[in-house]
Amino acid sequence: MLATSRGVANEIDILTDLGFQERQKLLDRLINVAEEGNEKFLLKLKERIDRVGIEVPTIEAVSTGGQQESVVTDYVLKLSCRLLKQYLLLLLINQVASGLFRAIAALGRNMIVANTFGSFALLTLLTLGGFIMSRKDIKSWWIWGYWISPLMYGQNAIMFTPNSNKTLGIQVLESRGFFTDAYWYWIGVGALVGFMFLYNIIFTVALTHLNPFDKAQATINEESEDSTTNGTHQEVELPRIASSGESSSRRQKRGMVLPFEPHSITFDEVVYSVDMPQEMKIQGVMEDRLVLLKGVSGAFRPGVLTALMGVSGAGKTTLMDVLAGRKTGGYIDGSIKISGYPKKQETFARISGYCEQNDIHSPHVTVHESLLYSAWLRLPAEVDYNTRKMFIEEVMELVELNPLRNSLVGLPGVNGLSTEQLKRLTIAVELVANPSIIFILSLLGLTPLAERVSFLTEQIAIFTGPTVGGLLNATCGNVTELIIAIFALTTNKIAVVKYSLLGSVLSNLLLVLGTSLLCGGIANIGEEQKYDRRQADVNSLMLLLALLCHLLPLLFTYSAASAELTVKPSLYLSRASSIVMLVAYFAYLIFQLWTHRQLFEAEDEGEGEGENNGAEEEAVIGFWSGFAWLAGMTVFIAWLSEYVVDTIEDASDSWGLSVSFLSIILLPIVGNAAEHAGAIIFAFKNKLDISLGVALGSSTQIAMFVVNKHTLNFYIYKDFG
């Protein structure tokens, strides 16, 4: 290189002053000089080695034929059987590594999960394989990782093959903890074969039994479909379905392609009845007909989405079936008019669509094909092909089915579309027929208001203390259940009321209380959690009193030889026990909130002075504002919960589960979702007093007040027998 007193900067200036061709020639010359210097150095080194007499093994890579494969020839080993053994080991190590990677991919089922746990597995195998850390350096409590690492067996076997001389080689291997006995080669081969089969078995089992995290939709590739029209095979892809918002945002918005004539529907004094079931006649019912709809009137305006709401068993589905003309039996009386004209089922079926909750679709066609068949069969003949196609595309965009256009419908709950996607397909199938009136039956979910209820209760507790705060939260949650049970009693759903109240007590004592204690302990693991012992003792004693009062009529019933003799006395005893428990509950409220309130608040005040006095929370809203908002939220939750309960019979039929099971498990969780979430949130905030007040107070309120209130309510109407 050109060297001057100015150093490197001068060299760069000289190179940059050269032209492109001169610079290229200079670089080529420098490379040639370096290669010649290296060659001279290697020749001199070879001459020196030959003079000393050291025999160095040489390895030559020879290309065989026209293939791009290399055969390694070891001239020192003279093509002995060790070459084949070495090649066998390399092949087995490759197969074990491939099987390991496939097993990790199948178990991970996701790129992020596979990379995370795969990196940890590879780190463990490499570190404990005997190369990075020798066997002697691995701790005794980690030595098991050394023996289960496939790299250890492959390394021991492959190290023995070319390096098994009797002097320096054995010493080097033993210093690194490798085994130098000849039989370790075959141990390594056997272990690698075993690991190869093990990893491939894990890979196969994981693919067979583990479901993917992201649901795959079976779709038909249009290109492959066109290319195999005359063939017998068809290609099926499994792509990930993109979000509907992404697809719909890419498409240009258009208006409706096909016009339709809006119609109104009015019905007045509609009565629907069926023949009285034989079972009810046996029980003594004298009427010949069972009236399901009694004098129902209403109107549906065009262009207005109308929701028909009511409690379970109110007759919503029956009314929709009667208006749509889907009832083939029974007796229908009253007036049903379409735009002022009497309804004729022959013409009404052409302008109406009916979307059921669980409609039936062909599982072996795609979403686009389902809409295409519906449009072909139901649109008028004067609609041409292009208009029909444009209208189908408009409907698919409207209900956001474009990402699923080539997805197979599949079987509900098994494969194919999800429940939400099937409901959108059901609506789209009716929309492509361009109806004037669409009936939609759907489930209404409970609005997530739990966080607001817990916040308002917490604000009120700042003014009243945790005892009143927990009581308010429990009361607001149980008002929902009280309203639900009252409507269920009016519709003669006695089993739903009994099972739901039992489930409420169990869910509060087991699910809510246990979850609150667990979550609160984890969230505040470094702090001491305190609670009011007096409040817990009083609630426990009240629950024990409720248990004894509820058991008394039951034990009296089974005490007699004949159950018929104790029916009426048991009813009287049950009503008397209900009155006693109601009186005891109101006395408990007076004791807790007025006469002996200082017993429950004293401990809270002492804790506030000694520990968290400086960090006391300030109220965000006033007492009466919080109380008003809490009452409004409770009414809204009760209103929405009523419609959730309405789906219990349909869920029992579609899921194959008994009404009793759903009433014990589902209704308590839905009806008391607000107080359940509130208790857990308070436990996270280390306010265990309010959590205990919610869980125990709610159970006490249900057992001592709600159950007995319903017992007396039912006594007003009819006996349980």
The gap from C-alpha 292 to its chain's centroid, in whole angstroms, comes to: 39
* R_g of the chain computed on alpha carbons: 40
Residues of the chain with pLDDT > 70, as a percent, come to 62
- Give 493 or 26, the one with higher predicted confidence: 26
Helix, strand, or coil here: 296? strand
**Burial class for 384, CB neighbours closer than 10 Å (0-12, 13-18, 19+):** exposed
Query: What's the rounded Cα separation, in Å, for the pair 406 and 416?
Result: 11
- 674: confidence class by pLDDT, cuts 50, 70, 90: low
What amino acid occupies position 664?
I
Q: Report yes or no: 503 and 664 within 8 Å, Cβ to Cβ.
A: yes
Q: Report yes or no: 181 and 201 within 8 Å, Cβ to Cβ.
A: no
Query: What's the rounded Cα separation, in Å, for the pair 499 and 506?
Result: 11
Q: Which are the contacts of 446, defined by CB distance < 8 A and separation ≥ 6? A: 637, 640, 641, 644, 670, 673
pLDDT digits (tens, 9 = 90+) for 78-126: 555 777 778 888 888 888 888 888 888 888 877 888 888 888 888 888 8
pLDDT digits (tens, 9 = 90+) for 419-430: 778 778 888 887
For 290, the enclosing helix (H) or strand (E) is strand 289-300
Q: Which of 516, 517, 532, 513 is nearest to 608 (CA)?
A: 532
Phi, psi of 74 (to 5 degrees): -105, 110
Report CA dihedral (519, 524, 526, 531) to the nearest 10 degrees.
Answer: -100
Q: Report yes or no: 216 and 238 within 8 Å, Cβ to Cβ.
A: yes
Sort residue 418 into left (φ over 0), alpha (ψ -120 to 50) or beta. beta
Strand pairing category for 437-440 and 352-355: parallel
pTM of the predicted model, to two decimals?
0.36
pLDDT at 632: 76
Q: Which of 361, 349, 354 is nearest to 425 (CA)?
A: 361
Sort residue 492 into left (φ over 0), alpha (ψ -120 to 50) or beta. left
- 69: confidence class by pLDDT, cuts 50, 70, 90: very low
